[in-house]
Structure 1
Amino acid sequence: MGNWAFVSDFDGTISKKDFYWLVIETYFPEGQELYKKWKAGEYQDIDFLQKVFKSIDQNEDQIIKDIRSLPIDEHVPSFIKTVQQSGGDFYILSAGTDYYIEHILLHYGIDNVPVFSNKGYYENQNVHLSIDENHKHYSRRYGIDKSKVIEEMKEKYDFVYFAGDSEPDSHPAKVADLTFAKDALQDILKENGVPFIGVNSFKEIEKIFRNKGILS
């Protein structure tokens, strides 16, 4: 098979809920209106997220507790281990922030998974994003340009798999060798004529991989 990588989106793909929804529902009811405006195109994705993450107003222990309460696909930790044991590298590629992703990885004891995302940090009761406009992966809309990351990986790997669930994932899906699509991403890729395999969970992805003989 040569060297290969599995790259997964985080919010809504690995996690069953987007972290921004957890914040809106718990601390920021005004976020419901903001969400509508964002979906209507009045906000860039990254501006919407920055506003939401700055509206938590809790100490860091509480925020970490909230992050750990985020429900994830139960099969993800063992799937990652199986990929790594079968000679694949696993990456997370997210237009959210590494701040909560790293806490989730730590919480589930997941090792050796590099995270490509917007840099985040805790300060003054909130989560802030540190966006570098000169970074090679910078995107005005998302903070990080996911397709640039996948393009770069394709120079290093013979085969790059990708999994995602929503609009930001439609761009890297065009570049990846094979995309597994959940939820809204399925319709978006259909409309754009981008090939994909529709799935609902990592258990299904693992089954497909076992049938193809990719996992040992």
Structure 2
Amino acid sequence: MKNWAFVSDFDGTISQKDFYRLVIEKYYKEGDKKYEDWQGGHIKDIDFLSEVFRNIHQPEEMISQDVLSLPLDPSFVPLVQKVQQAGGDFFILSAGTDYYIHKILNHLEIENVKVFSNEGYFEENNVKMKIDPNAWHYSERYGIDKSLVIKKLKEQYQTVYFAGDSEPDSHPAVFADVTFAKDSLQTILTSKHVPFEAINNFDDIIAYLKNNEVI
């Protein structure tokens, strides 16, 4: 069994803005109504994202520019480096799509970071999502079941750290050894009596790992 792994959500955790929000603001004004329906529980997460991403209607070069314009936590790259230098493995776990995550990792020249997410691809000036109901981590609501991924990693690592920011992250947080929570995830986990370390950014995570002699 390996020593430890660090797993991070992407949208709102690594990125400071969700990619779907950027798309709605720039290209899909009707998305605000879809957002309300989603928040009201009338649309599944994966159906909401699929609807938004297939209403971009832009060439891939423009989509790539939009992806790379997403503001990231300034300490994302330093955190990856410190985790890997200390012998940990870094994973990204997202209920969005790996399409834009891989673009950002490639742009930043980040290596040896495995991404667990919904498969995405460019087609007809949009981003399409390929959901496999036979995948071992399939979720009808999210496309990917983050809890199953964390439980799988816990079979391979002695300690699994997890960072997230919103409702989908509340489910894997139950199974991680230590959860770093920001924004609405703090309130959700408090209401569920799930322990967590409150953070504002990745600098707080780096400080915690240093104080606990992990890195």
Cα distance in 1 for partners of 2:107, 2:69 equals: 10
Q: How does 1:110-189 map to 2 (within 5 A)?
A: 110-189=110-189
Q: Is 1:109 matched up with 2:112?
A: no
Cα distance in 2 for partners of 1:178, 1:195 equals: 8
* One-letter identity of the residue aligned with 2:164: G
Cα distance in 2 for partners of 1:43, 1:34 equals: 8
Unaligned runs of 5+ in 2: none
Cα distance in 1 for partners of 2:66, 2:118 equals: 19
Over residues 51-71 of structure 1, what are the superposed CA-to-partner deviations in whole Å (9 max), with x where a residue is unaligned?
000000000010001000000
Q: Is 1:74 matched up with 2:74?
A: yes
In structure 1, the partner of 2:83 is 83
1:83 CA displacement: 0.4
Cα distance in 1 for partners of 2:108, 2:29 equals: 29
Unaligned runs of 5+ in 1: none
1:108 CA displacement: 1.4
Cα distance in 2 for partners of 1:108, 1:9 equals: 17
Helix, strand or coil at the partner of 2:134: coil
1:78 CA displacement: 1.1
1:92 CA displacement: 0.1
Cα distance in 2 for partners of 1:15, 1:68 equals: 10
Cα distance in 2 for partners of 1:191, 1:211 equals: 27
Helix, strand or coil at the partner of 2:155: helix
Q: How does 1:26-45 map to 2 (within 5 A)?
A: 26-45=26-45
Cα distance in 1 for partners of 2:44, 2:109 equals: 33
In structure 1, the partner of 2:211 is 211
In structure 2, the partner of 1:194 is 194
1:182 CA displacement: 0.5
Q: Is 1:14 matched up with 2:19?
A: no
Over residues 65-111 of structure 1, what are the superposed CA-to-partner deviations in whole Å (9 max), with x where a residue is unaligned?
10000000011001101100000000000000000000011111211
The root-mean-square deviation of aligned C-alpha atoms, in Å, is: 0.6
Over residues 20-63 of structure 1, what are the superposed CA-to-partner deviations in whole Å (9 max), with x where a residue is unaligned?
00000010111011100100011000000000000000000100
Instruction: List 4+ stretches of structure 1 deviating above 6 A.
Output: none
% identical equivalent positions: 58
In structure 1, the partner of 2:94 is 94
